[in-house]
Amino acid sequence: MPYQVTRNGQTYGPYTLEDLQRYVASGNILPSDLAKSEDMPDSLPVSQILGTTGVVNPTPMAGYPAPVAYTAPAIPYPDPPNLNWALVVLIDFFTCGLFQMVWNLILASWVKKVAPHSKAIILYIIAYVLLLGNVGSSVGNVMAAMRHQVIHPNYLASLVGLAAWVVKLVARFMMRDDLERHFNGPEPLRIRINPILTFFFGGVYFQYKLNQVNEIKQSLRYRGNY
């Protein structure tokens, strides 16, 4: 059953019930917006429509623009990698973090395809080269520990490790900016990426957001709008 959503005298849609749930959760549609289907005599707040279906109304996020009629981009962009974010966490756990390094490069490579100006993949490569250098500079201390010899402070390894962490963090936030710019410009899907979650969770959080992007694009294709 499709619904038309009205805000400030403008009408958007049609949206399925699942669309309403998702867009309320993301903040693109407010619970106070009015919605109406062909079977309804009058418009009702979206919160009441979702409430009648037994759906818990999520808290709206402030600062998001009104929903807009989506128009498919003139240039067909490749879909993001769609490996479930929970599976990324699981594989990363069993590979002791190595998979996340590979997955960051995969994500950055895809970002480069949709945003050719992106430098994230270059920075990730630099960060991982520095990380390998950090491991190499620490080999001497590892060998000394195995031989029960005196271990001397390795300041070079500490500096290289710090540099690798800083470069990786810069790459992470650069990719965040690239993603937000793309999904609020060439592909206007109204995606917002939290900087705090970006700092702490990086590639896993990006994959969570890209899973949402793929869900939205699949829904638009189903409705013939993409």
Mean pLDDT over each residue of the chain, to the nearest integer: 82
Residue 75's pLDDT is what?
60
Q: Higher pLDDT residue, 36 or 61?
A: 36
182 Ramachandran zone, left/alpha/beta (phi>0; psi -120 to 50): alpha
DSSP element (H, E) containing 34:
strand 34-36
The full set of domains in the chain, from first to last, is 3-52 (3.30.1490.40), 85-222 (no CATH)
Model confidence pLDDT, tens digit, residues 117-164? 999 999 999 999 998 877 665 555 555 556 666 555 667 778 888 999
pLDDT, one tens digit per residue, over 190-224 is 899 999 999 999 999 999 999 999 998 888 877 66
Among candidates 78, 131, 137, which has minimal Cα distance to 101?
131
pLDDT digits (tens, 9 = 90+) for 2-11: 888 887 777 7
pLDDT of residue 85: 95
- Rounded CA-CA distance 66/131 in Å is 44
Six-digit token string for 172: 């992470």
pLDDT at residue number 167: 97
CA dist 221 to 165, 207, 209, Å?
A: 40, 21, 19
Q: DSSP of 58-72, one letter per residue?
A: PPPPTTPPPP-----
80 vs 63: CA distance, rounded Å:
26
pTM: 0.64
Answer for the pair 23, 68: CB distance below 8 angstroms, yes or no. no
Which pLDDT value is given to residue 50?
84
